[in-house]
């Protein structure tokens, strides 16, 4: 396992991190707390030191599980969490988005409650969870500075979802020199990452990128195949049918990245993200210990060559040779869509899903 610095914080994170949204929730499969803790310990054995959770995951339960699992390893790991949703006063309705609460006072209160659940004196990285650009006021920025001065957090980040605004939000996080910006980014969904790579270069910012969903909801690691039937509670079922149908075709154009016995497609998908200098860590969705073993090793597989990186970019530019709608152009932003349109993205609403909600 190799490690990279998070922004200019001095904090080192493993190139492959553990996204703890899979523990303490049932959105990515049922597992006991004991199973979750065993997975976390197995990740540590594979060299993973970066564990990323959020207060809303399992309505606080993910933090409790992570805290218990890492209790004996606190000085050896980097722990991140997120705040910004009011799940204390609002019930969770299926997979729907909870009301957000992002003020200076809320950020402090939520952080203190997270520390209680984690049973930790500080978190290495505190991220604003899906904050809209107009919600991150001087009051919020001041609260983050105060938390850092008091030693309750070491670094700041901004975590963006795929449909809750991204362009103006990510640009602001880079311009404000947040240590980390977490985004959905993979070989099938490059637009967001490409934009922020440009912003980082143009501004000279040292903000690091954290990439999640590197396998594009199961396509690039081949855990979702044409014959796969996703369960009604599987979070990936909310992708439209067209996404999977075109994805299976796109995958075949990327077979050149595989190296028999040296680099699987799942590992190549992570290695591609690590091929960008601004990337600090990639957090795949681990479901089993076997996933952890294989994907953690992606840090040490043969790096993608410049030629391979360029070929992936060319394929994306040509939509992998596919000329039909994939159902995933629906994006919503916090500033009325102008930023999305300016970026050349289509805001059509995708209709239909692979599974009923």
Q: Which is more confidently placed, 223 or 113?
A: 113
Question: What are the distances in angstroms from CA 302 to CA 14, 221, 253?
Answer: 17, 17, 19
pLDDT of 245 reads: 84
Tell me what the mean pLDDT of segment 125-137 comes to.
92
Tell me what the mean pLDDT of segment 198-212 comes to.
96
Q: What percent of the chain has pLDDT over 70?
A: 80
pLDDT of 85 reads: 83
C-alpha span between 185 and 213 (Å, rounded): 6
Sign of CA dihedral 304, 18, 20, 11: negative
Residue 352 maps to a domain: no
Residue 265 maps to a domain: yes
**Residues 14-57 pLDDT 10s:** 999 999 888 866 655 566 888 999 999 999 999 999 999 998 88
**Residues 229-252 pLDDT 10s:** 665 555 555 667 777 788 889 999
Residue 148 maps to a domain: yes
**Residues 57-113 pLDDT 10s:** 887 889 999 999 999 999 999 999 999 888 667 665 445 566 678 999 999 999 999
Q: What percent of the chain has pLDDT over 90?
A: 64
Range of the domain at 106: 1-347
Residue 286 maps to a domain: yes
- Read off the pLDDT band of 338 (50, 70, 90): low
Residue 353 maps to a domain: no
Tokens standing for residue 191? 């637009």
pLDDT of 328 reads: 58
Question: What are the distances in angstroms from CA 247 to CA 27, 222, 252, 297, 324?
Answer: 22, 10, 9, 24, 12
Residue 357 maps to a domain: no
pLDDT of 150 reads: 97
Residue 319 maps to a domain: yes
pLDDT of 355 reads: 37
**CATH code of residue 255:** 3.20.20.100
pLDDT of 353 reads: 35
Q: Is 327 exposed, middle or buried (0-12, 13-18, 19+ CB in 10 A)?
A: buried
- Looking at every residue in the chain, the average pLDDT score rounds to 86
Sheet containing 153-159: which strands, arranged edge to edge?
A: 18-19, 50-52, 78-83, 123-129, 153-159, 180-184, 208-212, 279-283
Q: Which is more confidently placed, 234 or 302?
A: 302
- Count of structural domains, the chain: 1
Residue 294 maps to a domain: yes
């Amino acid at each position: 396992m190799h490690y990279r610095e998070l922004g200019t914080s001095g904090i080192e994170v493993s190139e492959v991190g553990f996204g703890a949204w899979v523990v303490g929730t049932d959105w990515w499969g049922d597992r006991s707390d004991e199973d979750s803790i065993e997975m976390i310990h197995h990740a540590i054995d594979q060299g993973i030191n970066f564990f990323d959770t959020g207060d809303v995951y399992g309505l606080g339960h993910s933090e409790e599980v992570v805290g218990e699992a890492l209790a004996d390893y606190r000085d050896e790991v980097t722990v991140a969490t997120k705040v910004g949703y009011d799940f204390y006063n609002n019930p969770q309705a299926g997979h729907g988005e909870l009301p957000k609460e992002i003020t200076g006072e809320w950020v402090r209160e939520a952080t203190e409650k997270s520390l209680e659940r984690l049973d930790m004196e500080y978190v290495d990285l505190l991220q604003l969870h899906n904050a809209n650009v107009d919600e991150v006021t001087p009051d919020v920025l001041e609260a983050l500075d105060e938390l850092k001065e008091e030693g309750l957090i070491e670094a700041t980040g901004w975590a963006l979802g795929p449909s809750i605004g991204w362009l103006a939000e990510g640009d602001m996080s880079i311009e404000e020199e947040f240590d980390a910006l977490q985004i959905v980014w993979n070989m099938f969904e490059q637009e967001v990452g490409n934009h922020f790579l440009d912003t980082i270069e143009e501004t000279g910012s040292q903000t690091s990128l954290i990439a999640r969903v590197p396998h594009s909801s199961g396509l690039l690691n081949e855990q979702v195949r044409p014959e796969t039937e996703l369960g009604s509670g599987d979070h990936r079922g909310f992708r439209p049918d067209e996404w999977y149908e075109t994805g299976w075709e796109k995958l075949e154009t990327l077979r050149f990245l595989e190296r028999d016995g040296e680099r699987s497609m799942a590992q190549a998908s992570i290695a591609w993200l690590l091929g960008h200098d601004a990337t600090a860590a990639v957090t795949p969705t681990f479901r089993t210990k076997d996933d952890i073993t294989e994907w953690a090793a992606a840090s040490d597989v043969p790096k993608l060559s410049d030629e391979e990186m360029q070929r992936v970019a060319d394929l994306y530019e040509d939509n992998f040779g596919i000329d039909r709608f994939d159902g995933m152009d629906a994006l919503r932003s916090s500033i009325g869509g102008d930023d999305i349109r300016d970026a050349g993205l289509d805001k059509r609403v995708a209709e239909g899903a692979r599974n009923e909600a």
